[in-house]
């Protein structure tokens, strides 16, 4: 006859086997719906070196766009600072208009230069 102690050990062993089987099969199930890696914007190329160059090009494009976004945030922050200083009496409205005009020119110039730089690469 089976004792209680033997039944507990048998149950623990069965749980261990079930857990081992689950962990062995889990990686195959978890990778089932992952998408494939997207090719670079300029194509994969014929060698791993060309593919690396194309991925580097995409990385430089992303850095250029991040630079444009950062410049836009800086211009907006400076405009808000000037607007605040108008209300406390340190600046005047023409200062805000000048800041806006210079900011627009700087952001447009940055976008233009990044676009030209990506054409050179």
Q: Are 44 and 54 in contact (CB under 8 A)?
A: yes
Region of residue 36 (phi > 0: left; psi between -120 and 50: alpha; otherwise: beta): beta
* Whether pTM exceeds 0.75: no
Q: Of 9, 111, 1, nearest to 61 (Cα)?
A: 111
Provide φ and ψ at 3, rounded to 5°.
-90, 165
Predicted pLDDT of residue 113: 85
C-alpha–C-alpha distance, residues 20 and 23, integer Å: 5
75-99 pLDDT, tens digit per residue, is 999 999 999 999 999 999 999 999 9
18-42 pLDDT, tens digit per residue, is 777 777 776 665 666 677 878 888 8
Domain assignments of the chain as residue spans, ordered by start: 1-30, 39-121
Predicted pLDDT of residue 2: 57
CA–chain centroid gap for 39, Å, is 17
């Amino acid at each position: 006859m089976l004792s209680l102690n033997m039944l507990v050990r048998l149950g623990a062993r069965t749980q261990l086997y079930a857990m081992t089987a689950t962990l062995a099969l889990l990686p195959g199930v978890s990778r089932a719906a992952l998408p494939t890696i997207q090719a670079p914007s300029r194509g994969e190329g014929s060698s791993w070196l060309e593919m690396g160059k194309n991925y580097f090009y995409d990385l430089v494009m992303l850095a250029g766009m991040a630079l444009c976004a950062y410049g836009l945030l800086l211009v907006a922050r400076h405009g808000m600072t000037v607007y605040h200083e108008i209300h406390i009496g340190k600046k005047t409205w023409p200062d805000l208009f000048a800041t806006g005009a210079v900011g627009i020119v700087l952001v447009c110039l940055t976008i233009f230069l990044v676009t030209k730089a990506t054409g050179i690469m």
